[in-house]
Amino acid sequence: MSAPVLTVTLNPALDQTVLLDGLHPGQVHRASAAFVHAGGKGVNVAACLADWGGGPVAASGLLGADNQASFTALFAAKGIEDGFLRLPGETRTNIKLSHDGDTTDINLPGLIVPAGMEAALADRLESLAVPGGVVLLAGSLPAGIAPGFYASLIARLAARGVRVLLDSSGAPLKAGLSGAVKPFAIKPNRAELEELAGRVLPDDAALLAAAGELNAGGVELVVVSLGAEGAVFVTARQAVHAGLPPLRVVSSVGAGDAMMAGIIAALRDGAGLERIARLGTAFAAGKLGRAGANLPPREEIEALANQVVVKNLTKMEAEGMSV
């Protein structure tokens, strides 16, 4: 049995996806379909991992008690251990307008966490983390949680012998990387990596140099998501680019979370970088054909993984050095 996985989502959402033929501001639109799913980055990752199978999956964080039914139903249906703490009020709703393969997000405000709850929340998450397992800290932080919360949590969880992955952006990501203990892996997109690096990254050489700086600082795996262009997977010793030909898109919502699920599925099986890249890319591609945080059957994912084009990138050559 693979190592247990815990995903943490402190600012989850009910994702309302509306499918449109096009999007034109100021005009009336007629939707072709609409779906509501329990979501949030870590919830999506847990759902995809549950579909994949191969090991226990738990999800934790904060939920509003007043509209939790969709979440509890999802956890029960997919066999995900429910470790969420409930707060009075409602979990936020995020509206996703999907059109022509693109998605426009409208994220509503989330819950306000009562003062003094951080310590109890950290204790709860530490108690759920299993030594030797994988923990994903995912998404934004709700009002009332300090930007440095992830950084302190990474240190506590790492002390328990847990590999911690951080998939966030902005201040929480910067703070999470500023602590004495770094996350095992992060998955920024190009813009987020540029923000971390403080410079424009126009090509592969620049991306690899910026990722290499993070490797040198203690982050073992940096995955740079490039949207339709695939992704670059970088460690201190190896770098690869992975991609697939264009596929039919039902909804791109949660594709990045599906990629993270594939990365985790490979990591907990002790896979090498090429397998991590193939499975992460295949999970994301498989998700594109389905609404909600759902994967096709395992054999379809494996077939996609075999089709992934993996190109080896030599970091030292990109930096103008000899191998």
8 A C-beta contact, residue 79 and residue 5: no
Give the span between the Cα atoms of 229 and 216, in whole angstroms.
26
Among residues 102, 123, 257, 269, which one is catalytic?
Answer: 257
> Per the structure block, which two tokens stand in for 16?
């309302």
**Joined tokens for residue 106:** 């409208």
The answer to whether residue 21 is catalytic is no
In three-state form (DSSP H/G/I as H, E/B as E, the rest C), the secondary structure along 206-223 is HHHHHHHHHHHHCCCEEE
Closest listed residue to residue 177, CA positions, set 159, 199, 200, 195:
195
Answer for the pair 10, 142: CB distance below 8 angstroms, yes or no: yes
Rounded to whole angstroms, how far apart are CA atoms 55 and 46?
Answer: 11
Q: Which of 201, 200, 206, 255 is nearest to 227 (CA)?
A: 255
SS3 309: strand
Place of tokens 């030599």: 314
Q: Which positions are annotated as active-site residues?
A: 257
